[in-house]
Structure 1
Amino acid sequence: MATSLKNLSDYNIEDVPSAESMKFGIVVSEWNTEITEALYNGAYDTLIKNGASKENIIKKYVPGSFELTAGAKYLAELTDVDAVICLGCVIQGDTPHFDYVCSGVTQGITQLNLQYPIPFIFGVLTTSDQQQAIDRAGGKHGNKGDEGAITAIKMVHMKESLKA
């Protein structure tokens, strides 16, 4: 498993551009809330640590991970965010529901990245069990929310650097 080789929260702060002038939307799934709130806290804290202001972070909830793409689209269309971080958690069950949700969210976020001029960040855990999710939401493998925040900052910076 790739995550076992890398801590999701490890990054060199000197390699991360300032987020001081950036505005972020964060869409959080209400399903598996213990995990998704931990992911949100990681993303939020990392954005603040890298210069984002509280006023420039918009948090919105959607019922489940499948709805992340619609929530992210609404943020892109109805606010002036520079990036949207999508945070969710889908845990394998006994039915193929897991496969459909994971595939739909992955394809949906990819499609948003192609349709809109801002980055949409995939911060969705797709795990075999609850413990794997805990391990990646602030546990022994770090926090996918931290990784999502750093990715958002770097992608906004990349876009801005191309404009210059």
Structure 2
Amino acid sequence: MSGKGAPELSVKNCQDLRVAVIAAQWHEKAMDGLVDGALRALHEYGIDEPTLLRLPGSWELPVAAKVLAGRGYDAIVALGVVIRGGTPHFEYVCQGVTQGLTKVSVDTGVPIGFGVLTCDTEEQALDRAGLEGSSEDKGHEAVTAAVTTASVLRSVSEPWH
């Protein structure tokens, strides 16, 4: 859900969803914006008591998502910031986090809103973090994606066995 061509999503009847936000602590200013955007979106959708867990970094997001998915959450929102440096560390972290969150979501059937910013510079992260003057609000977008998907999946009947 990024930039030009993004869908207009309608989020309805989701007040009873159990949602967790898991957020890294690296890059504090951008992370504060992402978390604020996520919590604002949840409040707009009538989800006033989400679980918020702060983790050391983005690398820890998949294991937290796996545990929460196993504890009955309907949707999880993963927030983090990874900024490119001068070593291959960026690629390893981004790939590991992305694949880990994807695996958790597919294996458990719990939608995970992907709000992990993978940027070349801190300025790019701040521009996507939903801060005053930012061009995007990825925390809000990640919540919208996760909650919409959870709502859609809930509408599908269980198969007859």
Same fold, TM-score > 0.5, yes or no: yes
Deviation at 1:34, TM superposition (A): 1.6
TM-score (norm 1): 0.87
Partner in structure 1 of residue 134 of structure 2: 140
1:43 is paired with a residue of what secondary structure?
Answer: helix
The ranges of structure 1 where at least 4 consecutive aligned residues each deviate by more than 3 angstroms after the TM superposition are 2-6
In structure 2, the CA distance between the partners of 1:149 and 1:35, relative to structure 1 (3 Å rule), is: same
Structure 2: which 5+ runs fail to align?
none
Task: Quote the offset at 1:40 in angstroms.
Answer: 1.0
Are residue 98 (structure 1) and residue 90 (structure 2) matched? yes
CA distance in structure 2 between the aligned counterparts of 1:75 and 1:33, rounded to whole angstroms: 23
Q: Could you tell me how far 1:3 is from its partner in structure 2?
A: 4.6
1:130 corresponds to which residue? 122
1:69 and 2:68 are equivalent in the alignment: no
- Name the aligned partner's letter for residue 5 of structure 1: K
Q: Distance in 1 between matches of 2:4 and 2:87?
A: 29
Structure with greater proportional helix content: 1
Identity fraction in percent: 35
The residue that corresponds to 1:42 in the other structure is 37
**Structure 1, unaligned stretches of length 5 or more?**
none
Q: How many residues align?
A: 156
Offset of residue 140 of structure 1: 2.9
Write the distance in 2 (CA, Å) between the matches of 1:58 and 1:80: 12
Q: Please state whether the residue corresponding to 2:26 is helix, strand or coil.
A: coil
Write the mapping of 1:15-30 to structure 2, written as runs, cut at 5 A: 15-30=10-25
